Chains A and B, each alone.
Chain A
């Protein structure tokens, strides 16, 4: 507990709160053992539920693995959180999606005042392996430009062949290759058509990268074969920036969004380290789809076999989550989603689509860390207890969504209870589940990574190192009492980041200008 307290104090001293997250919630005490005894320990939480957008921070990891310094554009909170499995109470609410609002109250280590977190988590009792999915009308736009030569085109073929195993005769598949222009290689053939196999096998790399033409052609092909009984979707695979044709990022996103609004979803997969992660992420977020990064052969298996199976199984559409906070608190911010807006004490999160996250436990990392499902975190600031409207309540979360199979609208709601008054800060803290504390550590690590990436991007390597070194020490200390595979892996990447910074010259203290010297200038 004390070790973690020191962690939070140091992080606060680093200015993480003021400059990165503007929150005081970076301090925690640890009574997780008590919380676990409350019924959540080792419970079968079911599979997590993932939003669209980034599903990993693979490009960030790959750059660190290669000994380089990742830029802030390669890191995304949604993708980072999705590589963390947060244990939730069992998914026994009787619906396909169970909503959980978990409370964490701890001492703010800047000035000792109270810090209150609400973790919004979702899980499902559905086993993705047993879940039938709607047949697909799927167009796959494949980058075949010259930069794909070598590993990238090999990964791509392997991934598509793996995907074939999960396609059936009811699926209608089109394959579009693009380089200087686009070519429809096969159009709306069944998932087991040998022509599809042959077309994948014949993919060759050469030429420039015309993403606009490839993606628009894919949308046009899906549109030409659109069927309300099918899932009408596009997958874009690319390893680079647009180098020919219409190259404006905003134009590409605008085009894709326009087709998304007509009902055609999009998922994106990036390869190599030269592609435009912001473009691929934006496209997927707008397209109610997911963005993945293929860093190595193991990721091909993880993404195409495990994740593609799940992201093609939408669990809910047009999800609206509303968090209404009691007047005893102020809602300050919501992290872990790009879709949140806040007005006063109400937070509104609109998510186009939810998918099943394939990991069912923290230890389920055989194929990698993707598919954790992550969580969303709301930070509250306690106010005068006399303003509390409903005793013992922090707030209420309501959620509505459309069932993709029936289009029926479903609703659920949970009340976030508390034994505390606003501002009460038990010495050992209060956590309604283990997951709140892990999500707190996860948020700290994300903030540290982001701050270090921003600083190193403009040459402040020593400043970046100054963020990460104490973070590594204190995460290490936290892990002593709270072993966790995801956080241990995060720690290894914090250390790699530090090593890479040192290799680039970060471990030199800034020098004093005009140093005292007995030899004056000319």
Chain B
């Protein structure tokens, strides 16, 4: 048994599969498709493109295995894996596509590759080839005539795989011929001269609430939110896909529901291109000229002939995807303005544990410096450390010589915070408990609840530094015996309950619809950005 298996595994001859009907048929389809059908426009390019992928993935692994003189099933499998990996890399990475193209050009067969992730649908063809052709490779060696036929098939296959296509009808392509695009939104140079088109996607660290910013993308999606630029020269009449094209790799993004690009074209005003996911279907667009029939997702660039005037954009089709950036206007003011970060809750590395308080000093900026340590029996403070706690309170309720416990408050990214609780065990002193919480909400604290509701009449505003899109909120705090009050950011309210007093201050509260987490302060997620500090004081026992 062992010797049979060993014999079979060493008997593989990939060249024997070169005369298998499946391989020969695939090669015939590849040649016919690349050299006749693609140029004849008899079938949509999406069909001819995918057809080449399917049959190519049957043809190529056999050739690779034959060239490498593979002799084992493992080698055959690895040939399949290598072809699959290379094919996937080309579709997924512009760099890989470029390197492959360069490598083929170096051996005299330049390829222009249109990356299309949907081409990966052809990968199962590898499995078909693996199972269907393995048997042929294991057949015994036959005569010299077959050997000659195998070599001929290998030669034809290699040439056909390297030189994938020829010009249609055998005629050279005209100088301005461009391959068709498979894209959704694209730009078309409607001017008489070449223009440089600069395109910037959103930064990888930016998240956007598509529904919110759809209200006015040109005004709300501002320069700080956009990432690395790529520039291209677009010749007259040429089309170019914004999101799907052969030139660039769309950055990974957490944004779902829409696509956003900043467009900067010589002689035209800056613009933002924004469209909802799926609103413009993927479709075939000619490399040059206008679409036949109803156009979809086209933006025509119309540079001005007058050097002192800016050109214009025209929509091709009914898709309103382009939003010219309006002239700078005065930022929103008053209660609707984005809030400053200067009043946010902040603390230095929390000294979690129980500490004796040596001193508390409120600085000119309202931040408390707590000198903490461990009081020894002789009254000396050892292990001293200074801890800063910035919260918009006039007092922490903690004085020197008291003992406190400092703890962290967390809830799985929903909020984080700090808790300070008096721990003297002395009923003649008021009991103090302070929570400083920042995040998307505030947990119930001695019956106190906090709710923040967007101020809908405010609309969305843009914070200048990081481009954060915000909307003001109204905050309500209370519950149980405390009653309920409304607070604005920076406001403090004392609520008297049955057993103690609760001082509530809203340090920061707004709703965010676009955010660069690498730049903006506060939570890294869209939605509520709430920072509240609550100080509960239970009076000393009589």
Contact = CB atoms under 8 A, between A and B. Distances in A.
Are A and B interaction partners?
Answer: yes
Interface of A: 13, 110-111, 181, 210, 212-213, 216, 219-220, 244-246, 248, 250-251, 253-255, 257-259, 261-262, 458-460, 462-463, 509-522
Contacts of B456: none
A513 B244 CA distance: 12
A462 B231 CA distance: 9
B159 interface: no
Q: Name the residue in B174, B200, B365 with the highest tally of chain A Cβ atoms < 10 Å from its Cβ.
A: B365
Given A219-B363, A254-B365, A458-B226, 13 more contacts: A13-B307, A245-B388, A250-B342, A250-B344, A253-B342, A459-B228, A510-B231, A511-B233, A513-B240, A518-B166, A519-B110, A519-B163, A522-B56
Q: Which of A213, A254, A257, A258 has the most CB of B within 10 A?
A: A254
Contact of A514 (B238, B344, B521): B238
B414 interface: no
Contacts of A251: 341-342, 344, 346, 365, 367, 390
Interface stretch (B15-23, B177-185, B420-428): B177-185
Contacts of A512: 194, 232-235, 238
Contact of B175 (A110, A212, A509, A516): A516
A111 B308 contact: yes
B366 interface: yes
Contacts of B174: 516
Contact of A513 (B49, B111, B234): B234
Contacts of A13: 307
A110 B308 contact: yes
B232 A513 contact: yes
Contacts of A509: 233
Nearest to B56: A522
A512 B344 CA distance: 48
B518 to A, nearest CB: 14
15 contacts: A216-B367, A244-B349, A246-B367, A250-B521, A251-B365, A460-B231, A462-B196, A511-B233, A512-B234, A514-B179, A514-B247, A516-B174, A520-B164, A520-B179, A522-B114
Interface residues of B, number: 70
B388 A246 contact: yes
Given A510-B232, A521-B114, A516 B176 contact: yes
A317 B246 CA distance: 61
Given A248-B346, A514-B178, A213 B245 contact: no
B538 interface: no
A516 B365 contact: no
Which 9 residue pairs across A and B have the least CB separation, nearest first?
A258-B364, A521-B114, A255-B365, A254-B342, A250-B341, A258-B365, A245-B348, A510-B231, A459-B228
Contact of B364 (A111, A255, A516): A255
Interface in B150-189: 163-167, 172-179, 181
Contacts of B111: 519, 521
Contacts of A522: 49, 52-53, 56, 113-114, 119, 164
B60 to A, nearest CB: 12
Contacts of B214: none
B40 interface: no
Contacts of A253: 342
A280 B60 CA distance: 61
Given A248-B341, A253-B342, A513-B245, A519 B235 contact: no
B198 interface: yes
A341 B464 CA distance: 18
Contacts, number: 155
Interface of B: 38-39, 49, 52-53, 56, 109-114, 119, 163-167, 172-179, 181, 194, 196, 198, 200, 226-235, 238, 240, 245-247, 287, 307-308, 340-344, 346-349, 361, 363-367, 369, 385-386, 388, 390, 521
Nearest to A462: B231
Given A514-B240, A519-B110, A250 B367 contact: no
Given A246-B348, A460-B229, A520 B342 contact: no
Contacts of A516: 173-178
Contacts of B234: 512-513
A516 B178 CA distance: 5
Nearest to A210: B348
A514 B181 contact: yes
A257 B363 CA distance: 12
Highest count of chain B CB atoms <10 Å: which of A219, A246, A257: A246
A213 B113 contact: no
Contacts of B166: 518
Given A219-B364, A519-B111, A459 B179 contact: no
Nearest to A255: B365
B349 A521 contact: no
Contacts of B167: 518
Contacts of A462: 196, 231
Contacts of B341: 248, 250-251
Contacts of A110: 308
B44 to A, nearest CB: 14
B305 to A, nearest CB: 15
Contacts of A463: 196, 198, 231
A510 to B, nearest CB: 4
B384 to A, nearest CB: 10
Contacts of B348: 210, 212-213, 244-246
B363 A258 contact: yes
Chain B CB count within 10 A is highest, among A244, A246, A519, for A519
Contact of A519 (B165, B340, B385): B165
A220 B342 CA distance: 20
Contact of A459 (B230, B246, B307, B308): B230
A276 to B, nearest CB: 13
Nearest to B363: A216
Contacts of A459: 228-230
Contact of A521 (B179, B366, B369, B521): B179
Contact of B388 (A212, A219, A519): A212
B118 to A, nearest CB: 12
Nearest to A253: B342
A519 B238 contact: no
Of A110, A181, A245, A462, most buried by chain B (CB within 10 Å of CB) is A245
